[in-house]
Structure 1
């Protein structure tokens, strides 16, 4: 498994909003909602538990983890 590179900058709210939108539209998450406190409520499946993420960086990290999992399980297309 290839390790993911570490981020060099802090994640922004706009970046997290964009990733949350993509993950929900692509049906990789059932729901992702930002609360007024800056926390995020994330649900993977419609009947699954709701996770609380502490901030934008956690949403971007979740997106990176999902993306890494998809790429590492996809058959090599070369």
Structure 2
């Protein structure tokens, strides 16, 4: 088992990158690119505008929003 680092209140760049990989691979986002400044460039769909996220906390907030939207849509379709 891989030891977990101590819990911190701030998400890491690695955690944000992992979530972005999941969102892009599951086609919930079209693209996500980490810039050298630590910001993320995010595009929801091919012709969509590019948004700038300030850092890992914003990435996790976006992830939570997408999860909420996805779960809400699933419940409505039942």
Give the structure 2 partner of residue 28 of structure 1: 28
Give the structure 2 partner of residue 12 of structure 1: 12
Give the structure 1 partner of residue 74 of structure 2: 74
Give CA-to-partner distance per residue, 1:13-36, whole Å, 9 cap, x none. Answer: 010000000000000000000000
| SS of residue matched to 1:63 | helix
> After TM superposition, what 4+ stretches of structure 1 lie above 3 angstroms from structure 2?
none
Task: Give 1 or 2 for the bigger CA radius of gyration.
Answer: 2
Mapped to 1, the partners of 2:11 and 2:45 lie a distance apart of 25
Give the structure 2 partner of residue 61 of structure 1: 61
Give CA-to-partner distance per residue, 1:28-71, whole Å, 9 cap, x none. Answer: 00000000000000000001100001101101110111001111
User: TM-score, length-normalised on structure 2?
Assistant: 0.83
Deviation for aligned residue 1:75: 2.5
| Unpaired segments ≥5 residues, structure 2 | 1-7
User: TM-score, length-normalised on structure 1?
Assistant: 0.83
